[in-house]
A and B are shown apart, each in its own frame.
Chain A
Amino acid sequence: MSGDAKAELRAAWDDLIAELQRARDAIDDPKLYAPPPSDRVLAEGYRYLMTLVYAGIERGFFEDPRFPYVRRAIQAISKATIDNADAIYFSMPIDGNCSYLLRGRAASTRHWRGEPRAKTGRLAPQYLIFECASGFTGDSGTLAEMRPGEKAMSGLLDISKLRLAADDTFEILLAPEKPPGFAGNFIATRVKRREREYVSTYVSGRQLFYDWEREQPVDLVITRLGAEREHPPAYAPALAAEQLRRAGALARGQMHFWNEFYDVLLETHGDRNGDGMRFMPRNAFNELNSASGATGGGMNTNIYAGGVFELAPDEALIIENEIPVEPMYIGMHLANFWGESFDYANRITSLNGLQSERSSDGLLRYVVAHRDPGVPNWLDTTGHPEGFLTPRWAYFEKPPQERWPRITAKKVPFAEVRKHLPEDTRVVSPEERVAQVKIRQAHVQRRFQQ
């Protein structure tokens, strides 16, 4: 053995540990945009840090565009980025100069074709989307990566365009260019914007679940075309050293980037740009806006709003949502200031369009409260005095702006919640709530099944 290898690996290990320390500092160092501390914020901060280490190890050691597999980018035990509680976020590393075949198999997809959902049996998720982009948000550790031109999305495909075989299987070709005469499902992995070429490095996507009892994740398998004769080379110190360093850099980068994102851009903890208000207002919502495709904004038919709840033990927030045009997906989610969605398995901390009930006047009303108010659409703060509120509305065809949803919030004393709801609002019993949580617990085990 070469003494160099031993020393090089040791040095890489020391670098990994140093990065973990820098990541840790973001939990309680105000210079690194740490949220205001409390016992629980700190406890969850360390949990968040550990899960970034967990994800960093997987990505550092196993993201190989030559031999990709579909990994869970976010899951119940590793949450971040104000994740959607209805989603599986998946991700695969690719080299956009190569070609890949992605194959899938879904349960009944009748609802993807605009038909009524199958009455019995398992269903495909409410929504599925794939996106190819030239980067993974947050890896750099600094907001500078969001400058225009840094990254680009080369292609996307969702269920509105996806063609399936009669048995609900599908294939998608991912390649730099569409081969002449190719008529199947296709996503471009390379794109030119303003004379610059962007080569995608990730395919990522989401499966959104509506019916937590019957919807079943789509099976996905990815293979690089022409790779069947190739084998990964024998493992060697130089690669191990590089992967050790990358695992640490990813954990640190993600930790630092999102802290800065939540504080500086979302102005979660105060007005930062001096315009006299926060981007994420307290007990209110900012103006609705749509994701822009220009810099690669997620589901480009999505409409978003955001805010922060801040509630004393005897207070509640009543949210009223008017929806002139019916979206394909509606979600309302709560998250802590690390961007971890609240415990959506064992608590009712999220509600989608199928799980929530409309009032008799057609409005969608949610009640954010620390304890059960006995009304429909309670969102459980799980005792957090403050946290993110993130409604999501997704459309295949976005309506004109004057027909977008409208959303407002009003803080009320907990004892007066019913006064602010329509008189015919029904009572939800504790037994019914237990039954709801039971469905959630079983669903989350199935969504992230072994």
Chain B
Amino acid sequence: MSARRGGLLGIQRLALALLLCAGSAPAFAAPPADAETTAAAKELRAAWEQLEADLASARDALDDPKLFPPPPSDRTLAEGYRYLLGFLYGSVERALAEDANFPYFRRALQPLNKATIDNADALYLSAAIDGAGSYRVRGIASPGWRAPRYVIFEAQSAYAGDSGSLAELRPGARVTTGMLDSTKIHFGAEGAFEILLAPERPADYGGDFIATKAVRQIPQPDGTTQPVEFAAHFVSVRELFSDWENQAPLELEIVREGFEGAPKPPENAADMARRVRRAGELVRNQMRFWNEFYARTLETHEDVNGDGKQFMPINDLNAPNAAALATGGGQSTNVYAGGQFELGPDEALIIEEHIPVEAAYIGFHLSNLWGESTDYANAQSSLNGNQAEWDADGVLRVVVAPRDPGVPNWLDTTGLPRGFMSVRWTYPEPPAQLPSVRVTKVRFNEIRAYLPPDTGSVTPDERREAIRVRQEHVQRRYRQH
């Protein structure tokens, strides 16, 4: 047991005696440390101070207009600090535990650290790898549960946002060396599968495979293109859940070949100082990168490139487009549309999706202007193709509104006056025709006039049941084991 309940070694009686008799015990001076230890202490302290300086610099991105924060409001600022602490949470784990020799799949995003306009239907995982090595990924459906609707593994040369600069979106700055999704994976009994990740497919290997090295033709400053070799440093996973009641995360394991059963070397001060510094650097860079990305690339607050419009239009969606590095990357099999809602208390948006080619997955999501998805556990602030009701004419209509309009497919803004909307359609193979969308702003009390006459009603009890399913699913998706 631990001493979490003060039970360690039955220490209560001793504690009692000490506290009652001795009061607070004096501290004892340690013997003087040797020169090496003194140097280590100094180096680690300097690293810690650098971490604190980076945190201060990351904090500035919350309210310094030069660092592209969204327009301030009470809620925006409050959520901004939560968002910042989320990056610190994720960065501590990354700095301490990312190890290409002893990898594991960590939760890259979760309710604790939402970011990057995350998909409310997704479990995002990431493992550090060395593209020169070989890895085995083994997976199986969780016993007693259905597998997710869609799963994709992508080997990538860099982790989005780590550089802190939009320059990482230039062609060739970051590449996907290989990918494999659930439409291609060979599943055995109970949904078991195994994937080899390696620089090249071995000649005698016929199983599931992802390349961890790739050569790409990269444009050079002189106008020519040159072949450049990239090695993957991360393998990312998205598991997309459409049936929140019956699907649960896969069990996944990753091991580096040659390191199975190998002992992990112990910590030392020089390595730890690097890790402490890296934690701070990741927080600062992630904060700065995404602020700038939303402001300049997505043109969230104004037209930046002078084409007379914002990439993320207000109360509208941009034209559906395939995932591209220039617009932040994302899931390589996705078509995305994005925009912003900006609604008064008596206003709503009605969004029509026309989807000529059936998609493997469809999702509609809201987030705040920091890119944190809205509370999708306790509010119906996201809907996927399985959760949504389709109209008789084959059109998918959703209603974005600040309160319950009593119709199917309500998306709850959770009181945010403004936020991102994102639509995702997954196509393992590029579709012959892209989906299209139409957005109409209407008065809240006129919503029904814009929906088909046979649109049903949703009672408060049905809404409550839907929330119950959501709350339980999110606990299961981010289970304690």
Contacts and interface: CB of A to CB of B under 8 A. Distances in A.
Interface in A150-204: 151, 153, 204
A383 B480 contact: no
Contacts of A298: 1-5, 7-8
Contacts of A383: 266
Contact of B10 (A61, A291, A347): A291
Interface in B74-107: 74-79, 81-82, 85-86, 88-89, 92-93, 95-97, 102, 104-107
A319 B254 CA distance: 36
A36 B1 contact: no
B478 interface: yes
Contacts of A70: 475, 479-480
A147 B19 contact: yes
Contacts of B1: 84, 87, 206, 291, 298-299, 302, 304, 392
A9 to B, nearest CB: 6
B481 A449 contact: yes
A36 B4 contact: no
A6 B378 contact: no
A62 B5 CA distance: 21
B276 interface: yes
Interface string B355-393: 000000000000000000001011100000000000000
Given A42-B41, A247-B85, A51 B260 contact: no
- Most interface-central of B28, B55, B260 (chain A CB within 10 A): B28
B31 interface: yes
B195 interface: no
B89 A57 contact: yes
Contacts of B14: 265, 279
B84 to A, nearest CB: 9
- Most interface-central of B6, B28, B85, B264 (chain A CB within 10 A): B6
- Most interface-central of A148, A221, A235 (chain B CB within 10 A): A235
A438 B75 contact: no
Interface in B424-481: 460, 464, 467-468, 471-472, 474-476, 478-481
A312 to B, nearest CB: 17
Nearest to A341: B2
B22 A13 contact: no
B415 interface: yes
Contacts of B17: 273
Nearest to B47: A46
Contacts of A35: 30
Contact of B279 (A50, A72, A346): A50
Interface residues of A, number: 144
A60 B47 CA distance: 25
Nearest to A217: B481
Interface string A45-84: 0110011011001101110000101111110010011111
Given A239-B78, A450-B123, A346 B262 contact: yes
A235 B25 contact: no
B229 interface: no
Contacts of A419: none
B321 to A, nearest CB: 30
Contact of A153 (B5, B86, B251): B5
Interface string B4-38: 11111111111111110010110111110100110
Contacts of B3: 81-82, 137, 261, 298, 339
Interface stretch (B164-172, B267-275, B292-300): B267-275
A32 B28 CA distance: 10
A178 B95 CA distance: 47
B263 interface: yes
Nearest to A92: B480
A342 to B, nearest CB: 9
A244 interface: yes
Given A9-B81, A40-B266, A306 B378 contact: no
- Most interface-central of B16, B82, B268 (chain A CB within 10 A): B82
B323 interface: no
A450 B105 contact: yes
A297 B475 contact: no
A294 interface: yes
A221 B475 contact: yes
B48 interface: yes
B251 A137 contact: no
Interface in A1-18: 1-2, 5-6, 9-10, 12-13, 17
B27 A263 contact: yes
B63 interface: yes
Nearest to A384: B266
Contact of A286 (B9, B81, B82, B478): B9
B81 A292 contact: no
B261 interface: yes
Interface in A198-253: 204, 206-207, 216-223, 228-229, 231-232, 234-237, 239-240, 243-244, 247
B88 A222 contact: no
A88 B253 contact: no
Nearest to A49: B48
Interface residues of B, number: 112
B40 interface: yes
B27 A450 contact: no
A447 interface: yes
Contact of B44 (A20, A42, A151, A392): A42
Contacts, number: 350
B36 A39 contact: yes
Nearest to A438: B261
B44 A33 contact: no
A403 B28 CA distance: 39
A295 B12 contact: yes
B345 interface: no
A339 B471 CA distance: 35
Given A6-B77, A229-B464, A264-B25, A50 B92 contact: yes
Interface in B310-350: none
Contact of B81 (A2, A13, A269, A279): A13
- Most interface-central of B1, B56, B107 (chain A CB within 10 A): B1
Contacts of A408: none
A44 interface: yes
A290 B85 contact: no
Contacts of B125: 450
B261 A47 contact: no
B50 interface: no
Given A50-B95, A62-B112, A294-B12, A1 B72 contact: yes
B92 A89 contact: no
Interface string A17-29: 1001100100110
Nearest to A439: B261
Contact of B481 (A77, A88, A390): A88
A122 interface: yes
Contacts of B200: none
- Most interface-central of B48, B75, B78, B415 (chain A CB within 10 A): B78
B111 interface: yes
- Most interface-central of A12, A234, A435 (chain B CB within 10 A): A234
B89 A228 contact: no
B249 interface: yes
A311 interface: no
A273 B27 contact: no
A62 B252 contact: no
18 contacts: A36-B31, A38-B33, A38-B37, A42-B272, A50-B279, A67-B377, A143-B18, A147-B19, A219-B476, A234-B415, A234-B416, A240-B77, A291-B10, A302-B1, A304-B1, A343-B264, A345-B102, A450-B107
Given A50-B96, A291-B10, A345-B264, 16 more contacts: A24-B48, A31-B27, A39-B269, A42-B44, A70-B479, A88-B481, A122-B143, A137-B4, A216-B143, A229-B464, A272-B28, A298-B1, A347-B264, A380-B263, A450-B125, A450-B249
